[in-house]
Amino acid sequence: MRRAVWAGLLAAGCAQAPPSVLLITLDTTRADHLGPYGYAKAETPTYDRLAAEGTTWTRAYATCPLTIPSHSSIMTGRYPPTHGVRDNGDFILGPEELTLAERLSAAGYGTAAVTSAFPTRRRWGFGQGFEAYHDPLERLPTVLDWRDERPAEVVVDDALGELARRAGDARPLFLWVHLFDAHYPYAPPEPWASRHPGRPYDGEIAYADAQVGRLLEAWDAQHPRSLVVITADHGEAFGEGGEQTHGFLLHDGTLRVPLIVRARGLDLGLPIGSVVDDVVSHVDIVPSLLAWAGLGGGPELQGRPLQAGGSGAAWSEARTGLYSLGLAPLAARTLAEGRETLGVRLSRYPFTGGRVGVEEEAAVPAGESAAAAAAIGNWEAELIAASAGAEAGTATLRGDEVEALAALGYLGGDVHAEAGDLDPRDVIELIPLTWGVGQALARGQVREARALLQQLDAGMAGTAGAAELDARVLLAEGDLPGALNASLALYDRAPSSGRALRVAELLGALGAHAEAEGWFGAALDADPMSAAAMAGQVSSLLAVGALDEAEQAADEALAKVPDHAEVALLSAELLLARGELRRAEAEAAYAVTRMPSHPRARLVVAAVDWAQGEPERAIDGMFEALWLAPTDLVLRAQLCLALLDVGRAAEAQRVIRPAAELLPEDDVLRSLLDEATAAVEAQRRPPPPAP
């Protein structure tokens, strides 16, 4: 109904053609590292020119210092408690939210998006309203190799191609371009690296500026009547408040973002080259663009047009500490006089010297503290009450997708976590240890991971985050029963689809496929669209010989997510079970292409090779799978049997010995080791003399 009313309102719009809109979001870009904000070392001539031709807001603030929630606010004009996307990795912008692209599409605009990294792929709900959405990545990033972003040059080339394809389109265009380059690790290409020695972050910003300049040249030629908006999703801490990157704390380093608007062929209602010091928020962008385009908004928008002063106060929140580590959530309101931040305690940070500092917390009398805390709490309650009535969808990620976000500093976690009594501001120096544990595990340095975890326990013992990492380290140590018990305890602590999925995968690795099938079902009950849980359930049913049930479950999965790589994998398993080897090979190969770090995808390809009479190639594939999942006992047992079948007894012994020694009470593993040992000894015995 809301969309129908909106379309009706648009039909009565003004006669003058609305302007095209170019929205550029720069990832992880601090305002105070750009020329228009007084940074003398900046090499940002494109942004300087846009500021000179338009208007610059000096006090624009992000709603969240994370990519996915922040972009959700930029696109909806609503705060995270309302649109429901409150962290990276665990939330999807729901279809009930009306995005800027949907509004402009309904007004007759052409719409296109060109994005550059995993956190801005369409899977997070950002595709709503876009006719074209360019977000290709060669493969998913991993902890070991996660520079699978698209550099600005490639993204801009893609955007230029989109402009060329639309050259004859008479409709105004809304084009969103996202550039990820300033995100860690900072590695600008030449010549920008050499021009910014010792300052690679500035080099990345300069490189992105140059590419934006290329885009603007084509844009201005094709869209003489247009609006261009430059902003960032969030900044980077660089030590402010003790934080090195972003996501956990609320301070100017991560919240204060550039906001520059330039108009051609229409009047912004503001002097050209003006600088505005009003407190404004990301939620003010949508109502501003709609007003400048001569379009109406609606009461669901929580921002105010920038040309009317903007919001005057900005809500920001950081809940990554809660969801990933079991810490207290942080919420803040930024006002003209400074920022009030509520965690375990209420703190006040004054606006002085052109910034809200975090060096010293201003003393807050008890009465004022209680009133300020109540004001923040009441604001959050109002924002939640204004939601569309449905929680944002949750996303159950595969292991490699979790690693992708973890590698980017986005831990994800448990969206149902209870708030702990540790304030992230008080343990911020320990949080890098959580990344260190993950990176050590990725390098295979399990002892280092355990040592780092012990350091973390010294300050964060008993938190959900420490328990989650302990389960991962136990798995890396090969203690599958211990990892299973830890994961079961975490599930009992706060049930979730992701935790049920982890329990199921561990049970499968232990060979308990019937139990695993039930846990995959629990994961699906919590998240019916979890492709990983669908595929796992089918695989478990196949493992226990329930072919009919597996086919029914596979059909249901194919109907829900027909193009998902996990579904291609389960199709391959079903085809293999039916003996349709050629089709199974094609589906398995597609799954490996999409999920190169997924061990089961490698294993299914190996199973197809084995069935086609290619044992050596199959064994090579099984070794690749084992390299990706060295603690999978079932995989070790299967590889051991395959090696014995082709007479490679010594290798079979080496493969199975670690598992048998780790679990000496397991009769199957012990029997396989005995068989492999006997085969080795038999091969070493000299042949009997010829008669």
Three-state SS string over 308-377 comes to HCCCCCEEEEECHHHHHHCCCCEEEEEECCEEEEECCCEEEEEEECCEECCCCCECCCHHHHHHHHHHHH
* Most confidently predicted of 99-113, 353-367, 470-484: 99-113
More confident residue, 557 or 166: 166
**pLDDT reading at 398 higher than 70:** no
Confidence of residue 421 (pLDDT cuts 50, 70, 90): confident
| Strand 256-257 with 55-61, pairing | antiparallel
pLDDT band at residue 101 using 50, 70 and 90 as cut-offs: very high
Provide the pLDDT for residue 2: 32
Contacts of 423 (CB under 8 A, 6+ apart): 327, 328, 330, 343, 344, 345
Please give the average per-residue pLDDT across 496-507, as a whole number: 91
The answer on pLDDT for 395 being more than 80 is no
For residue 299, pLDDT over 70 is answered with yes
| Closest by Cα among 319, 309, 317 to 340 | 317
Q: How confident is the model at residue 30 (pLDDT cuts 50, 70, 90)?
A: very high
Helices (H), 614-666: 615-628, 633-645, 649-662
The confidence score (pLDDT) of residue 143 equals 34
The mean pLDDT of 223-243, rounded to a whole number, is 96
For residues 25-44, give the mean pLDDT. Answer: 98
**Euclidean distance between the first and final Cα of the chain, in Å?**
94
Helix (H, G, I), strand (E, B) or coil at 397: coil
Tell me the pLDDT band of 100, cut-offs 50, 70 and 90: very high
Weakest-pLDDT range from 216-230, 343-357, 572-586, 607-621: 572-586
Q: How confident is the model at residue 414 (pLDDT cuts 50, 70, 90)?
A: low
Give the pLDDT confidence score for residue 402 in this predicted structure: 52
Per-residue model confidence (pLDDT) at position 147: 47
pLDDT band at 443 (very low <50, low <70, confident <90, very high): confident
